[in-house]
Amino acid sequence: AQSVAQPEDQVNVAEGNPLTVKCTYSVSGNPYLFWYVQYPNRGLQFLLKYITGDNLVKGSYGFEAEFNKSQTSFHLKKPSALVSDSALYFCAVRDMTRAGTASKLTFGTGTRLQVTL
Amino acid sequence: DTGVSQDPRHKITKRGQNVTFRCDPISEHNRLYWYRQTLGQGPEFLTYFQNEAQLEKSRLLSDRFSAERPKGSFSTLEIQRTEQGDSAMYLCASSSGDRGYEQYFGPGTRLTVT
């Protein structure tokens, strides 16, 4: 079975400082990894994904994420946080090598990012 | 806006009633997904369509739940004999391909069962 862990319920950071939101995953094969952001009363918005290739992937709104196969991690990062980045962030995984039931995304429980002035 | 749309956005119903939700995916997307999200949790997969074929169903989808995508375009999710435990946000997503393709989510339908 595939799973995702987001160990921090909330991350607090001051505007202008770098931010990291942590994610670790477990799959039997090789993973496809995704980050989504959710603003209040809105659906999830796609930020970025790792499929293959360069371990550092860049996405929307200045976010990036680093895939680390040995640590089974896919941490979300941003060099300089904005107050408007405050939202709920979800990491998700899909096992790329499983046949049949490979279509679903498995999400973590989410990390609330709070950016303050 | 050509994103995923869902209707209604909010639904309040009494226990035992039936409810139906609609999802309109992005027009060129042939894959459609339903998820359920409860407070403090990430979305949980319910079911998946490729065109009109329902290819995958979660064990979360009890016999009271049924989903259709009759012409491979919009989809409906029906819950019969609703229970208070069905109260959740029901999210629809679509994608243009499988596996490595990202899913685009609609705004969700919030169901409250009283």
Measured between CA atoms, the residue of chain B closest to residue A94 is B99
C-alpha A109/C-alpha A79 separation (Å) is 24
Place of tokens 């012409």: B71
pLDDT confidence of residue A99: 54
pLDDT confidence of residue A41: 75
Q: Is A104 on the interface with B (CB under 8 A)?
A: yes
Chain B interface, best mutation among A95, A103, A107, by max B CB count within 10 A? A103
B38-78 pLDDT, tens digit each: 998 999 999 999 999 998 888 888 899 999 999 889 999 99
Nearest to B33 by CA among B111, B114, B99, B113: B99
Distance between B60 CA and the closest CA of chain A, angstroms = 13
Q: Is A42 on the interface with B (CB under 8 A)?
A: yes
Q: Is B85 on the interface with A (CB under 8 A)?
A: no
Residues linked to residue A17 through DSSP beta bridges, in sequence order: none
Confidence of residue B91 (pLDDT cuts 50, 70, 90): very high
pLDDT confidence of residue B99: 62
Q: How would you write chain A as a 3-class SS string? A: CCEEECCCCEEEEECCCCEEECCEEECCCCEEEEEEEECCCCCEEEEEEECCCCCEEECHHHCEEEEECCCCEEEEEECCCCHHHCEEEEEEEEECCCCCCCCCCEECCCEEEEEEC
Binary contact (B56, A101; C-beta < 8 A) = yes
Strands A44-50 and A56-58: unpaired
B3-33 pLDDT, tens digit each: 999 999 999 999 999 999 999 999 989 999 9
The contacts of residue A102 (CB under 8 Å, 6+ apart) are A94, A95, A96, B98, B99
pLDDT confidence of residue B96: 86
Measured between CA atoms, the residue of chain B closest to residue A97 is B99
Q: Is B40 on the interface with A (CB under 8 A)?
A: yes
C-alpha distances (whole Å) from A39 to each of A11, A44, A98, B15 are: 15, 8, 32, 29
> What tokens were used for B48?
């998946």
Phi-psi region of B85 (alpha: psi -120 to 50; beta: other; left: phi over 0): alpha
C-alpha B77/C-alpha B49 separation (Å) is 12
Nearest to B29 by CA among B46, B45, B62, B5: B5
Instruction: Print pLDDT tens along chain A (117 aa).
Output: 789 999 999 999 999 999 999 999 998 888 899 999 999 877 899 999 998 889 999 999 999 999 999 999 999 999 999 999 999 999 999 876 655 555 789 999 999 999 999
DSSP reduced 3-state for B86: helix
pLDDT confidence of residue B2: 76
> What tokens were used for B92?
């629809």
> What tokens were used for B65?
């739940």
C-alpha atoms less than 13 angstroms from C-alpha of A12 in its C-beta half-sphere: 2
